[in-house]
Structure 1
């Protein structure tokens, strides 16, 4: 399983709330940026999505906040692909303070591959399914 960072960035003062830590809307935004980097690794690139008329839609997202992030903190998100199905994908992001290594938040997302014109789910193409299968945290057994 490839575990390289899918997002790197910084917490800016204007991203902090009245308590002094990064507001939840920015956690979601940074996880969203990680989504697109993970998707590109399996072939769901901007070019593919534009040319094929496909898109991705989040249908479930669960976030556990573990430690606060403060202005100036360096943030890194790593992503793990948990499951690829005919039309959906499930993965988890782990956001860390890059300086301390502390886990700040964990986000599990289920996304659906969409036909943008028909406005309904669509099966992933085989090359995307194969690329995703290579990145699964728990690879599926090979059929004999």
Structure 2
């Protein structure tokens, strides 16, 4: 399922390292921003998380870097839900250079839905599960 971008932005000169390309801390930051947009699409909005006492916690994150991103490059991330379990989800972010369309990096994350008060994993609400199932896609080849 083709989806709208979960992140769009620019690489700023101050995000580049001594080699001249975007430093890895900024890849992680941009993927993190995409996380929250993906979660909101699933119904895990900030207001829902606050009012329900729920939260999301990343428990595994793997990043593969393919192409450099340089100052001034326009970045786009598209996200794909790969797996839905009772208390966790696994998803992939594809970060591209929006001008060239080339994949700069991709990231696969497993996140756990949690009860913030108990500090334990918790099942997703049925409405969240129903929405998430509509976004579930087949795994993307690396």
Deviations 1:109-140 (A, max 9, x none): 000001001001000000000000001003xx
Return the alpha-carbon distance in structure 2 between the equivalents of residues 72 and 136 of structure 1.
Answer: 33
Counterpart position of 1:37: 37
Return the alpha-carbon distance in structure 1 between the equivalents of residues 64 and 3 of structure 2.
Answer: 20
How far the C-alpha of 1:48 sits from its partner, in A, is 0.2
TM-score (norm 2): 0.96
How far the C-alpha of 1:2 sits from its partner, in A, is 4.4
Counterpart position of 2:116: 116
Root mean square deviation of aligned Cα: 0.6
- Whether 1:64 and 2:86 are equivalent positions in the alignment is no
What are the within-5 Å matches in structure 2 for residues 1-144 of structure 1? 1-138=1-138
TM-score (norm 1): 0.94
Equivalences, count: 138
Check the 8 A contact 1:2/1:135 in 2, yes or no: no
Return the alpha-carbon distance in structure 1 between the equivalents of residues 118 and 25 of structure 2.
Answer: 30
Counterpart position of 1:141: none
Return the alpha-carbon distance in structure 2 between the equivalents of residues 19 and 6 of structure 1.
Answer: 28
Return the alpha-carbon distance in structure 2 between the equivalents of residues 43 and 36 of structure 1.
Answer: 11
Deviations 1:88-111 (A, max 9, x none): 000000000000111000000000
Gaps of 5+ in 1: 139-144
Gaps of 5+ in 2: none
List, as ranges, runs of 4+ consecutive aligned residues in structure 1 with deviation greater than 2 Å: none
DSSP 3-state at the match of 2:51:
helix
